[in-house]
Chain A
Amino acid sequence: MRLGVAALALLLATPLRAQDGNAKDVITGAVRAYRDLDFEVAARMLRRALTPPLVTGLDDAERAQALTYLGAAEHYRARHDSAIAVFRRLVVFAPRHRPDTLVFPPEITRLYDDVRRRTKVVAIRLPADTEFMLAGEGRLVAWLYPSVPHDVTVAINREDGRRLRTVFTGPIGDSLDVRWDGRDSTGALATGDRLWLTVASRGAGSEATRLVRVPLRVELSGADTLRHTPPLTSNQLLPERADGGTGVRSLAGGLLLAAGALTLPAITAPGERASGTRFVVAGALGVSGLVGYLSRRPGRPLPENAAINRTRRDAWRRQEDVVTRENAQRMRAARLRIRSGTMVVVERGGGDS
């Protein structure tokens, strides 16, 4: 009884295992079917290999090989449109790929070349991680490989599509390497979690027919800059012209202190007969108050306040200069790290020509 159950399990498991075999085995089987001219089986197996979850087990070369066989199989199944669609997918995926002429007959390579000529797209190769000093000559280098020579615009964009900097505009032939120093068009550092290196391929018109985008994460390290000094507020500056109360305050202060001088003996030495010397100081204070009142009429400039304000502004400017210089020095020693993600192709709906 136990032996029977085991045999049944084995029987059930075998087809499942064959069905779930790894992607390479499936492609090997598909190629065998293609060579046996069983294009329908080959196409079915290749489509399965190019669909998740199996496709994740393929590297770029294997995916390109699978797409080539699939396009050829569809052609021989007399499904011309499907063949063209598969080859377009292949061109977008690997613009530099060419079918092996020893394996595929001229009618397949001609069809592929025809599709490639009409499909303008660029492949971008970027290092996964680039790090360079801001003060040096370091740059992020991107190598671009087009399917066919055409005009492209290479730019750095924000996530919302806003362009930070145009890196290159013009024709691309066999290949092109573009460099980016991590700055936007104003020269400021373009740091952020979500920037995009975007290559727009243009068709016969000036409209972009296809965008290829690579996400970038730009980090600044070792640039712990100092905070800038907040600008002086009106509370920190003295009025430079007298208002209605300035003169009155001077007069009141002078008279109040004069009164203090006169009454001081009564406060500190009550009952004592004080001399007249206090009148000298009281008079000096009273006269000072009067001078203050007359020289501080409304609208009159207050040079001493202006001088104090000038000193404060100069001090603020000096402090700001120190911060700016220090920050510039720190920024020169700072390093920019750019990490790139996976390339994404966006169709813009424009016709290839």
Chain B
Amino acid sequence: MSTGSVWLGLVLGLPSVSLAAQTRVTGTVAGAVLNVRTRSDAGTALGFAGSVRYRRFEFGVHYAEGTLQPTDPQAEVRDLVEGAVALRFLATPWLTFHVGPQARSYATQSGTERWVTWQAGGRGEAAIVGTSVRGYATLWRALGLNVNLSPGSGSARGGEVGVIVDLPPRPFWFSLAYGIDQSDVPGAGRRETVESLTFTAGLRRR
């Protein structure tokens, strides 16, 4: 939980300092509810996300934690904690590229399994109803994957499709997104697929 507190401080602190310092900096803060599913378990997680943008560059963070209940009653309950940091480049108003690490850990009584991926990907965005309702699709691929339990590294890829609803001129926005990623460590015979349905509500500073 101490890690979570650090992340929380970072997310809430960064936008406020930067926004006050420079008016051209825009940013968002948001809370999120996630429905997470893997092959063996599913559960709900709570989290938050934030970003600050300066000209064509955006720095984003994301954090969530929750509990996954196993579908097999004999299996252990897992605590899920995930966080990500990304540096994004806005090539055009509708196309963004990003790079950054994502860490996901599953804690059980027998130990903690930690998956760290370095992602690089792109996101396309399209207006559907004016500029108030927009859809987006993200695809990424791992530049590197490390798992602490199994020796060696592997590959990972994933994506997310979602819809964002803005409420101009108010600063509120909402989004609903479906994401799926698959990590594969062939040497250890491990493959992890995670699906998520995320509802996010946030504030945007223009």
Known: A277-B37, A277-B195, A288-B135. A304 touches B130 (CB 8 A): yes
Q: Could you tell me the dominant secondary structure of chain A's interface residues?
A: helix
Which residues of B line the A interface, CB within 8 A?
35, 37, 126-133, 135-137, 139, 157-163, 168-169, 176-178, 180-182, 193, 195-197
Which of B136, B157, B193 counts the most chain A CB atoms within 10 A? Answer: B193
**Least distance between B37 CB and chain A CB atoms (Å):** 5
A176 within 8 A of B: no
A265 within 8 A of B: yes
**Distance in angstroms between the alpha carbons of A268 and B158 in the assembled complex:** 5
Further contacts, 6 of them, CB under 8 A, given A268-B180, A272-B182, A272-B193: A264-B161, A268-B157, A277-B37, A278-B197, A285-B128, A285-B135
Contacts of A260 in B (CB 8 A): 137, 161
Nearest first, the 5 A-B pairs at minimum CB distance are A304-B130, A269-B182, A257-B135, A281-B178, A261-B161
Decide if A291 touches B135 in the complex (CB within 8 Å): no
**Least distance between B43 CB and chain A CB atoms (Å):** 13
Contacts of A236 in B (CB 8 A): none
**Distance in angstroms between the alpha carbons of A291 and B127 in the assembled complex:** 12
**Distance in angstroms between the alpha carbons of A264 and B157 in the assembled complex:** 11
Pick the contact of B197: A250, A268, A277 (CB < 8 A): A277
Known: A268-B180, A272-B182. A304 touches B131 (CB 8 A): yes
Contacts of B129 in A (CB 8 A): 250, 288, 291-292, 295-296
Which of A278, A285, A291 counts the most chain B CB atoms within 10 A? Answer: A285
Decide if A267 touches B139 in the complex (CB within 8 Å): yes
A14 within 8 A of B: no
Contacts of A277 in B (CB 8 A): 35, 37, 178, 195-197
A270's closest neighbor in chain B, by CB? B182
A289 within 8 A of B: yes
A302 within 8 A of B: yes
**Least distance between A205 CB and chain B CB atoms (Å):** 70
Decide if A289 touches B128 in the complex (CB within 8 Å): yes
**Least distance between B97 CB and chain A CB atoms (Å):** 18
**Distance in angstroms between the alpha carbons of A272 and B163 in the assembled complex:** 24
Known: A264-B159, A265-B180, A304-B168. A281 touches B128 (CB 8 A): no
Contacts of B136 in A (CB 8 A): 257
**Distance in angstroms between the alpha carbons of A305 and B176 in the assembled complex:** 24
In the complex, chain A residues 243-292 whose Cβ is within 8 Å of any chain B Cβ: 250, 253-254, 256-257, 260-261, 264-265, 267-269, 272, 274-275, 277-278, 280-282, 284-285, 288-289, 291-292
Contacts of B163 in A (CB 8 A): 257, 281, 284-285, 288
**Least distance between A319 CB and chain B CB atoms (Å):** 15
Contacts of A256 in B (CB 8 A): 126
Contacts of B168 in A (CB 8 A): 304, 307
Known: A265-B180, A269-B180, A292-B129. A281 touches B197 (CB 8 A): yes
**Distance in angstroms between the alpha carbons of A280 and B182 in the assembled complex:** 21
A303 within 8 A of B: yes
A237 within 8 A of B: no
Decide if B181 touches A269 in the complex (CB within 8 Å): yes
**Least distance between A187 CB and chain B CB atoms (Å):** 38
**Least distance between A310 CB and chain B CB atoms (Å):** 11
B129's closest neighbor in chain A, by CB? A292
Contacts of A296 in B (CB 8 A): 129-130
Contacts of A304 in B (CB 8 A): 130-132, 168
**Least distance between A166 CB and chain B CB atoms (Å):** 52
**Distance in angstroms between the alpha carbons of A250 and B176 in the assembled complex:** 18
A308 within 8 A of B: yes
Decide if A264 touches B197 in the complex (CB within 8 Å): no
Contacts of A281 in B (CB 8 A): 161-163, 176-178, 197
**Distance in angstroms between the alpha carbons of A280 and B196 in the assembled complex:** 11
Pick the contact of A274: B126, B132, B195 (CB < 8 A): B195
Decide if A261 touches B178 in the complex (CB within 8 Å): yes
Which of B131, B163, B181 counts the most chain A CB atoms within 10 A? Answer: B163
Decide if B159 touches A268 in the complex (CB within 8 Å): yes
**Least distance between A267 CB and chain B CB atoms (Å):** 6
Contacts of A265 in B (CB 8 A): 180, 195
**Least distance between A268 CB and chain B CB atoms (Å):** 5
Contacts of B193 in A (CB 8 A): 269, 272
**Distance in angstroms between the alpha carbons of A304 and B181 in the assembled complex:** 35
**Distance in angstroms between the alpha carbons of A40 and B135 in the assembled complex:** 107
Decide if B158 touches A284 in the complex (CB within 8 Å): no
Decide if B135 touches A253 in the complex (CB within 8 Å): yes
Decide if B137 touches A257 in the complex (CB within 8 Å): yes
Which of B129, B132, B157 counts the most chain A CB atoms within 10 A? Answer: B129
Decide if B139 touches A268 in the complex (CB within 8 Å): yes
Contacts of A305 in B (CB 8 A): 130-131
29 contacts between A and B (CB under 8 A): A250-B129, A254-B135, A257-B126, A257-B128, A257-B136, A260-B161, A261-B178, A264-B159, A265-B180, A268-B139, A268-B181, A269-B181, A269-B182, A275-B195, A281-B162, A281-B176, A281-B178, A285-B135, A285-B161, A288-B135, A288-B163, A289-B128, A291-B129, A292-B129, A292-B130, A295-B129, A303-B130, A304-B130, A304-B132
